[in-house]
Amino acid sequence: MTRTAATAAGGYLLLATPVIAWTSDGRSHATVWPADALILALLLNSPRRLWSVILVAGWLGNLAANGITRGWIVGIVLYGAINMAQTLLAGALLDRTLRGRNLLEDTGTSTRFLLVAGYLAPALGATLGSAVSLVNYGQPFAGSFLLWFSSNALGLLIGTPLLQAVLDGSYVRWFHAKPRSDRWEAVLLLLAHTAVVGLVFRQSLLPLEFLPLASLLLLAFRLGRLGTMAGICIIAVVGAAAGYLQLGPLMLMRHGPVVDAFYFQLYLGVILCVTLPVAATVASRAEALAQLAEHRKALQQILKHSPDGILSFDASGLCKWADGRLMDCTGIGPREFVGLTVEQVAEHTSPELQYIIENAAKQSNVPHRVEFRAVHAPERTIEALCNIVPNDDHRSGVVVTLRDISAHKTREDTIARAAEIDDLTGLLNRRGLRNYTSGAFSDPSRHLTLALIDVDRFKSINDTFGHSVGDRVLAGIATRLNENVRSSDAVGRLGGDEFAVFFNCDIVAARIICERMMASLKRSPVFNEDGIRIFASLSCGIAERKPGMTREELYDAADTALYEVKRQGRDGILSAA
């Protein structure tokens, strides 16, 4: 708090005293007034609990500066109060709308800053200050108003952003954040700008006031808002010094110091209005580009450790950006995709990729997903997710995310197969048989014969030897069945001692295979341990699919034939009529 107060009082005194002495006759207002900018910068950089301390310290600095330069009269007390009032108004309005934001952050903030510091606050101060000058020194109100307004507006506009940046360390951080080459560039550009301004204002022969604007715009584009504010201050200081020494192109008008001072203020005002929006726009775009670069680096780091690859297409369907693990997904590196059209990318990956991108353009409000096997990596299963990049009422591009889901698909297939397998025998269960017949029945031209099989008198095996032996018997029978069918056939357990076999052949060939299975069971026991030898026999009913026959009808036909075998004494095969 003490240092802030000392900065406000001492800084105000140091800024105001020479300005009054050089640009005023002791009775009129100064032509440039940067001291209030110091107070406004301190207000904007400080919490509101310190504002009263800053304003009182600033008023004391104002009183001291006016007392030293104008003489100690009662009326000068009011000058400080008026200056602090206009500064407080500017601070309150700016703090309310731009708290935590740079005054020249973008065009919007710059416009608000120009309105408050360039018009509203100076207008209040000029009205009250000109009234005091009229009473104290008999100065005409209109001329005094114009001089106060212009000098205070210029002082606030020029000095506030610069002093705020100096006080909060922005200039130091800005300079140290630059690489060494950029630091040298900044120094050389500011020196060159100073040289241009010096050459323009040291001569009084040619109207070259436009030249500093050119170098100032160069500062705006190369150094941003901080460099621009430094450049404007260089013009203000050099121009004011030249005016004091009766030098510079402004002397060509030869209308007296008051007109010269006003013209110089107008000149600085034009420079401010031209360069501040430019600097704000350049700075906001530079910051946006810097943030974009940071986001891209972050995205690259994420993609580096992510299983995803990304393809980004513009509105015309051209791949503008590619990154991530595209080599793992497609067998092609990211750089090879850049510059390719959607059609060309599809040729290197899969036609399905082109399909979902075109479909996404028609239904842009939902993501589109497809799985495919890449042309150059057919052993991998790739998932592609396509999203439209919206831009108001039209799309600005498409982003496709690719991921290798081969391991996931393998796990899914393993789980799916496990769900279709009987735990005891390793054959297909009811679900597996149902899925098999769904595919088989989809082809009406395919030969299909069903054999339903029961183990004869299996209950007596369980009752005599126990269920554990019975389970071993069922597993042995399942092995014999599997050994005697072809790879194109499907063997399954319906439950208990009931089995089903689907043959991809006619009923005659199926019957021959069933006879071979039954003969195999009679040749050797299905269980032979601990002196226990168990032979098994089967009852089998077979039926061939007829045109137009449903799955249920095929089962019913085979079941009817099986029932007839059991009725005739078991251990046999019967074909359905």
For residue 79, which amino acid is it?
Y
Q: Alpha-carbon distance 5 to 419, whole Å?
A: 80
Q: How far from each other are the two terminal CA atoms of the chain, in whole angstroms?
A: 108
Is 497 part of the annotated catalytic residue set? yes
Q: Alpha-carbon distance 19 to 14, whole Å?
A: 9
SS3 363: coil
Q: Alpha-carbon distance 44 to 90, whole Å?
A: 10
The residues, ordered by sequence, that sit 6+ positions from 510 with a Cβ below 8 Å of its Cβ are 449, 451, 501, 503, 542, 544
565, two tokens:
């075998």
Q: Which residue has 């036909």 as its token pair? A: 557
Q: Alpha-carbon distance 540 to 511, whole Å?
A: 9
Phi, psi angles (nearest 5°) of residue 532: -105, 120
| CA trace torsion 48, 49, 55, 61 (10° rounding) | -120
Q: Alpha-carbon distance 45 to 54, whole Å?
A: 11
Residue 255 buriedness (CB in 10 A; 0-12 / 13-18 / 19+): exposed
Q: Alpha-carbon distance 61 to 13, whole Å?
A: 5
Q: Are 481 and 463 in contact (CB under 8 A)?
A: no
Pairing relationship of beta strands 449-455 and 538-544 according to DSSP bridges: antiparallel
Q: Alpha-carbon distance 79 to 27, whole Å?
A: 12
Q: What is the DSSP letter of 28?
A: S
Helix or strand (DSSP H, E) at 169: none
State the angle between helix axes of 141-167 and 76-98 in degrees (0 to 180), rounded to the nearest 10.
50
If we measure between CA atoms, which residue out of 235, 252, 228 comes closest to residue 199?
A: 235
For residue 493, which amino acid is it?
R
Report, in this order, helix, strand and coil percent for the chain, each rounded to 5. Answer: 65, 15, 20
From 260, 308, 489, 497, active-site residue:
497
Known catalytic residues are: 497
